[in-house]
Every structure is written in structure tokens, then in C-alpha cells.
Amino acid sequence: MAITFDEGRRIFTLTTRNTTYQMMADSFGYLLHLYYGAKTAGFTDWGLTFADRGFSGSPYELGRDRTYSLDALPQEFPVQGTGDYRSPMLIVRDSEDTYGADLRYSGHEITEGKYSLPGLPAVYANPGEEAQTLTVTLSNNRLGLSVKLLYGVIPGKDIITRSVIVRNNGSKPFTAEKLYSSCLDFTHGDFDLITFHGRHTLERQYQRQRLNHGSYSVGSRRGMSSHQYSPFVILADHDATETHGRCWGMNFVYSGGFCAEAELDQYGQTRVIMGLSREKFSYGLEPGEEIAGPEVIMTFSSEGLGKLTHSFHACIRENICRGKFRDSPRPVVLNTWEALYFNFDGRKILDAAESAKALGVDMLVLDDGWFTNRNNDAQALGDWSADEGKLGCTLGELVSRVKAIGLDFGIWVEPEMISEDSRLYREHRDWAMIIPGEKPVLGRNQLVLDLSRMDVREYIIQSMRGILNEGVTYLKWDYNRSIAELYSHSGSNGKLAYKYILGLYEILERITSEYPGVLIEGCAGGGGRFDAGMLYYTPQIWCSDNTDALDRLTIHYGTSFGFPMSAVAAHVSTCPNHQTGRITPLKARYTVSMTGAFGYELDPLKLTDDERREISGQIRQYKLDREIITEGLYYRLSNPESDNYCAWEYVSHDGSKALISVVIPQNHGNMPVIYITPRGLTHGAFYRDIESGKIYPADALMDSGFPVDMPKSDYESFTFRLERM
């Protein structure tokens, strides 16, 4: 059994292949956290300590006994108003503007299978895969407040998920002013917090810092998970490495505003919590109403960051991503954006398609500028009808002509946005999020549609149907601004940020259900909404608007800690690069871009004959390597912050093959030799380098590594394919 309950001690134990998670409903009814770590037998309540803590409040029923305080005890769901002055997961304001709610254990249920959440994406169990759900109910009689803590266990993947449902069972309304979904409390430890910061065109940059006294948080106030911070954090022992030490990960299955907080308190205890952004959130619950907190995926590794990464990759690839393209090969695409921008017509598109077909490309993706009056980024968003004058035909006819060439057809859309200069805005100004009496904030010359409204959602779905019914089999779903104002003509603005995301999920669920053969690639100005919530609907995401090979090295490095490389859309683009002006060899651009979902972002008509031959070879080779890239175990073999090279590896699950990539950004005089040390090979086996024919003993390779050739110029790149003998 993955979940057990000891009646005498009232201890819950959640067990996976390599981990144990324990908590206890104590004699006062408080749910205390006991343990989350390496798999163990027995009970761990001996780890709790009790003492008289100055200025730390105690429950009333203890009277003069001051040795028990929630301010100094590890908890599963800390709430404001119980004498715990650390950051809580729930803050409730009642109808009298009173804050505070004392929650006590009132029951539990253990069920087979993995829970789901109303209107929200969540981890699912595959047929035949063991999974269980624990629901623990906490209650407050004064408010009629019921909190259901949901724990899902996927034992084979070392995954435990957490979520929460807050319900008003009383007779008066109250408001949730803060709602987080997951908490990890540690009574001691010397930890680092790993987060992933960034900006537009440089997302998910690895950052590791020691936790000192105080509180540290990352999050997004932008209405999306954001370019600035990833909704994914790691707590690690200070000395943890890729292959050694304890580490815990939290991955938020949500695409809107979030916050993750880490606090080292007065007693040297550490708390890490994650959930909905408190800003722009004030969720009123009338009697009978409830709200579900988005899910957090958790995993623990006692074998370093690499093992943690493998658990997250497997879970997201196999238990978050869905549909036809979860397991089937993704097409190699040619996207027209950096090749043509808005400057194209139907003839140019067909010429590009013919040239792309000759290279071995599978799909042409027509980016922005294809619909009526869309000649720049200041107009026509929301008017999703093809510009037949520009295309020289209907959209359906263009799709048919491209398919006759032998390519599938994809198209760019930005359904959540509206231009002031559009027919839709002139007819439905109230659909845009604009505060009455205020001039709206513009981002990329556009406004945001109110997805909390059913009529807006129906319009978007109908518009996408009109496109997909023309034979389009791929949507690049973009989102090119943050949400500044929150106003809806339908009211409930404290709920709007949350309901916007639920509206987005409803749209995507209906489209993916109705068109199961369509591949949707998520995008938000590149990687501004790269999160597990979007991956539930879009199995790949445009990783960054920055296609520069050098910058992509660190973007991919940071992304790899929490997300599978099959989700990373990366394209070879032209040089000089359009974002940085940097010139890098075509080989290096390919080595970096073949990381995951692969394609090109250039004008094939402007290629030289040598470039055409090289690209044709790249595509043929990628298709041979595609399976191990999208399904293999991924290893980081370098740290861009400290090493003068970047190396990574894919290993097939049976260990029979390995694919190793190396990029050396800078060449220097008389450089030391670089040795690459693979991991994940079969102990005791021998491997042959397919290109050179050299034979290596696996154990020696994983101990001492092998040398790469001395670079002759900047951006030298190498690829090694090893095969077990």
C-alpha cells in the first residue's frame, strides 16, 4: 500500500519506491509534519520536540502548559491565527472583517487512484500504474470552514502531489485572502534554495543561494507564471551536487500568478510553501461554494539533483502531458517568423514550403501576419479571418497547397488578446480588461480579453474551430503581454486572476478534446508561461524568443532541472542572430537546438548550397536521434557558471545508447584539455563510439571521462553517440 494510517498513533505514511512521507494528527487535532526523505520503516514522531518558547503562543486547552506551540512545530497546513507567526498557507477574513481560523483534524479517506481537480490540470495515473489518494479533512466550526488536503501518490515515480480544497459549509460568507497548496517544514538543516530567475529572452537562469534567517520569495504578479521566475523551486542540502546529497523539489501545476516562500525561522527551522499569488487575490466564498488550490508536484532525492530531475521529467512527460503527441514523434518544423516577419504573401509561403520540403522538414508554420489587417503588431488581434488578398487565396486553399507539396501546416495565434484597432474591440469593448474611467495599460500594443466570461471563451473556441477546420494541424498559441489591470464587467475582481486561468484551461481542454490530432505549442513571448499547467494541454512550449545558441545554453540548463527536454521547443535560426547579433556556426546552433522539439527559424531560400546540404544532414540525423532525445534519461554534465564548456547527455532507459553533446563557447590560447564524464551507462559493459569506432569500458568512462578535441575557434561543438556492445 502506498498510503497507510496507524489508528493508535494517528500517523499517516505515504510510501514511494525510494521515499517516505509521514504526518500525524496529534491529540489536539493539529496535523503535524513528521518526515519526508529516504524510504524508511517505522514511525518518526520521535523527531518532535517540546519546550517553553518565549512569545510563542499555545492552544487555549493547554492552560498554563507552555511547552506546546505551533510557532515551533512542523505542520502540514499552517494557518494564520493559531499562534504560528511564520508564513501561513491560508488566511481567512470572515464577514465581520475578522482574521484567523483554527483548523483541526476531522477525518480522512484513502482511495485508489489519483485525484483530479475541478477545472484545473493535475497529475494523472496511467492504466495499470499504481496510485492512491489521501484526503485529510480539517475543520473550523465557527466559520463552517472545511479544508480538504489532497495527497496523490505515484509510487513508481517517487512522486507525491499536494492540493487543497477550501469550502464554506457555514451560513455566512468568508474570504480567502491567501491560499497555498503545499508546505514542507524542517526542524533543522543547512539548506540552499535553488530558483530560476530571468527576463524576456533569458528565462530560467539557475540561481543557488544559502538560506539564512529571514524569508525569501519568488513569484509572479503578472497574471502568468512569467519570464522572471519559474514556478519551480528546489531545496537542497548545502553540499548537494548532481550526484550526491538530499534535495526536495516543488513544481506548481499552474499558469498564473504564484508565490514560493522559503523561511529560516528563529529556531533554525525551515519552511517552504508554494501556491497562488496573494496579490490580486481575494476569493470570496458564499455558503456552499469552494475553491481548489492548484496542484504542487513534489519529489525527493537522496542521490542529488540528477535523480530529482529524472523524477520530474518522467512525471511531466508521462503523467502531465497528454494526447497523441505525448508519445509520438513531433514534427520538424520551419517557422516563418524570423525569416519573413509580417512581410510575406502566398507565393513566398509556398516557395518556402517547397524549399523546406527539399531539406526534410515535416511542417511549415505560418507565424504572425496572416489575418486581415495584421501588417504590424498594433492591429487586428481578435479578428481571426485570413487576409485572402495577402495570401492570394483562402486559408483552406493555402493549407491544401502546402500539403500538396508534402508538408503539414501550422499557424500562429494569440487568442487571449485584443487590439484596440480591431473589429472585435469596436463591437465588444467590454470584453477587454479595462478599468472604467482609466486609460488602459498597453503591452505590445494590445489588451487582454476577459477569459472569466463565457461569451469570450465561446468566441475564442469558435474562432479556433474556424482555423482548425481548414486543415491546420498545429497551433502556436502565443500570449504577448502581462496582465496589469484586473477588471471584469461580470464583477468579482478579487477572483478574476484565478478565473482567468480557469477560463484558459477550459478553452484548451475543449479544443484538445475536439481536435485530438492537433499539436499545440505553448508560447508566451517565448518562455513566459513555461509551466506544468500549460504542458497538460500543450506538450511542448517555445522555450524562449531568444534563438541565440550561446544564450540558449543557460536557458536550456535551467529549464532542464524541472521540465523534460521533450517539452523544450528550440529552433536553429539565421545569423547574425536577431536578438543578440551574435554569429555562431551552423553546427553549434544545431547542437544546441536538437535538445528537444526541433525546428528551424530562417528563410530556406537564402541558404547557400553548403548550408542546404548541412541542414539536410542535420534533419536526417535528428530523426535518428529523436527517440533518445525525447524519451531518454537526461544528465547535465557541466555547470555553465563554473565550467568553460557546456555538456549534456541522453541515455536510453535500458542503457544501450548514449548521446552526448558538448559546446565550447570560447577558445583561448593553450587551453587545458576538456574531459567529459558520462553518467547512466551500464556498469561492467563496454561502449563503442559509433563515429570513431573507439571502445570504452563504461566504469572508466564514468570515473575519469574522455577528452574532446582541442577547439580551433569559438563555439566549437561535438556530438558523441555511444552504443553498448
End-to-end CA distance of the chain: 39
Q: Classify residue 547 by its DSSP letter.
A: -
CA distance 607 to 614: 10
Q: Is 280 helix (H, G, I), strand (E, B) or coil?
A: coil
> How far, CA to CA in Å, does 42 sit from each of 55, 401, 482?
34, 67, 49
Q: Does residue 327 carry a catalytic annotation?
A: no
Q: What is the largest CA-CA distance in the chain?
A: 87
| Residue of 531, 548, 625, 649 marked active site | 531
Q: Does residue 611 carry a catalytic annotation?
A: yes
Cell numbers describing residue 202: 533569458
Asked if residues 647 and 660 have their Cβ atoms less than 8 Å apart, the reply is: yes
Helix ranges restricted to H, 333-417: 337-340, 346-359, 388-391, 395-405
Contacts of 317 (CB under 8 A, 6+ apart): 326, 564, 566, 567, 631
Q: Which of 568, 448, 527, 483 is nearest to 200 (CA)?
A: 527
CA distance 438 to 493: 16
Helix/strand/coil (H/E/C) assignment for every residue in 285-301: ECCCCEEEEEEEEEEEE
| Residue of 388, 509, 603, 611 marked active site | 611
For the chain, count helices (H), then strands (E): 13, 37
Burial 499-521, CB ≥16 within 10 A → b, else e = bbbbbbbebbebbbeebeebbbb
Dihedral of CA atoms 715, 720, 721, 724 in degrees, nearest 10, equals: -160
Q: Is 554 helix (H, G, I), strand (E, B) or coil?
A: helix
Dihedral of CA atoms 251, 663, 642, 247 in degrees, nearest 10, equals: 20
Q: Is 658 helix (H, G, I), strand (E, B) or coil?
A: strand
Q: Which residues participate in catalysis according to the annotation? A: 531, 611
